[in-house]
Amino acid sequence: MNIAGVVLAGGRSSRYGKPKMFELYNGKSFYQYSIDALKENNLAPIIISTNDMLARHFDAVSVTLSIEKEHHQGPLFALHHVMKSVPEPDWFFVLSSDVPFVTSNFVKQMITFTKNGDYKAIVPVQNEKSHPLLALYHRDCLEPADHLLKQNKRSMAALLNSVLYKKIAFNKEEPSFLNINSPSDFEELRKG
């Protein structure tokens, strides 16, 4: 089974004030943490999903860029764009570049659930909160995603409402879900 890694890195970063995917933590950019967690599990290709304003700022060695010309259409649009432009993989492991501490072990655990042929998406849950931007999507999601976008429905939740998906519970110690949306989120992290 072929599983691609997709790093979502084409958002507006309006709460952050500048493109947050390029922020450095311990000398490494947020998006590079996502790439590394995917690469450590031998996922291929690794795709950075972004737009034509941001694309040239990525270190794109041994990754594929999926470049949106229409900006800021949201993660469902981005996933649809990736699935259409990269036809080979069966599954797409999506990681949001503003959740940089996803562990390689988290990715590994999630992948094991792709072996059950019935599910079209695999979504982690922590403290009853689902994380659809740290999740696996089967290629069969392309058609429902297409349908939703044509109706101008743009949320990942809408996609999950239209496919059979599995929720995977993680305990509250799992560090993978720390989301950096604002400078104060990052400041808190740096203070420890």
Ligand X SMILES: Nc1nc2c(ncn2[C@@H]2O[C@H](COP(=O)(O)OP(=O)(O)OP(=O)(O)O)[C@@H](O)[C@H]2O)c(=O)[nH]1
If binding is defined by CB under 6 A, does position 37 make contact with ligand X?
no
Do 89 and 22 meet the contact criterion of CB atoms below 8 Å apart?
no
DSSP letters for 139-189: GGGHHHHHHHHHTT---HHHHHHTS-EEEEEE-TT-GGG----SHHHHHHH
Binding mask 80-119 for ligand X (x = CB under 6 A): ----------------xxx---------------------
# residues near ligand X by CB under 6 A? 24
Distance CA(100)–CA(134), nearest Å, equals 11
Q: Closest approach of Cβ 115 to ligand X, in Å?
A: 27
What lies within 8 Å, CB to CB, of 96 at 6+ separation is: 8, 34, 75, 133, 134, 179
Kindly tell me which of 41 and 49 has the beta carbon lying closer to ligand X.
49
Kindly tell me which of 54 and 168 has the beta carbon lying closer to ligand X.
54
Q: Closest approach of Cβ 119 to ligand X, in Å?
A: 22
If binding is defined by CB under 6 A, does position 10 make contact with ligand X?
yes
Distance CA(189)–CA(23), nearest Å, equals 13
Locus of tokens 């004030």: 17
5 known member of a binding site: no
9 known member of a binding site: yes
Interface with ligand X by CB under 6 A: which residues? 8-16, 21, 49-50, 68, 72-75, 77-78, 96-98, 133, 181
